[in-house]
Amino acid sequence: MARGKNTTVKVILSNVRVKTGTVNDNQLTDSMLIDLLNMNVATLARRLSNVNAPIYMTSATLTLSAGAYSLTSLAIERVIKLVDSSLGLISQVLPEEYENIQLLSGVHTSSMFFTQEGESIRIFKGATLGSHGTIKLYYYEIPTFATLTSEKPDLPDSYTSLLIKMLCSDVYSYQNKGQRDAEKEKEIAGDVAGIKQSYGGR
């Protein structure tokens, strides 16, 4: 379900066309603008997740398959943590660290580690630990892209005005043969910096 609740893609695109004087520009199609909208939503979502804003935070139960836990059905921006319902929090390590841990399994008899490799997760469980319970992954997800103007963007309404500014900047660039407007870009950068401040600079 889209995180936007009040403003449709159509309304956003109409605002952009009015602000940029492209209401009658037939070369700049709604389909092109929707693509730009989706890219900007993804950019804002990533920035929100990078400052640990909980907006795109979600979770999923993982199922073991062929020695690993598949992530192919999930749209993951960044992993937050992995929790075993019976054994507790599982520490994340880099793939190269994970290989060393496996080689030194006798040293890590009471520890648990996981690593992400592409679209799968591997878990090491020390020999003295009990059986796994339910494995739950907490993560920031990638927003769902809009395809129709009747949809609402997967972005909270409080960021709609910033989204419109970003779209307008893209259209101005299109009008000026790729040249960006420095003042408008500076204004957008200030708004984006405000995202970090609004979440305590985390």
| pLDDT profile of the chain (202 residues), mean per 10 | 92 97 95 97 95 95 93 96 98 95 88 96 96 97 97 97 96 91 90 83 54
Is residue 197 assigned to a domain? no
**Helix or strand or coil: residue 65?**
strand
Rounded Cα distance, 165 and 188, in Å: 7
Centre a 10 Å sphere on the Cβ of residue 74 and count the other Cβ atoms it contains: 16
Q: What is the pLDDT of residue 200?
A: 67
Could you tell me the residue range of the domain that residue 88 belongs to?
56-141
Domain annotation covers residue 119: yes
Is 74 part of any domain?
yes
Structure tokens at 149: 């103007």
* Global pTM value: 0.88
Residue 10 maps to a domain: no
Answer yes or no: is 43 within a domain.
no
153 close to 37: Cβ distance less than 8 angstroms: yes
Task: Specify the number of domains making up the chain.
Answer: 1
Tokens encoding 115: 């690593």
Q: Looking at the domain assignment, is residue 189 inside a domain?
A: no
How long, in residues, is the chain? 202
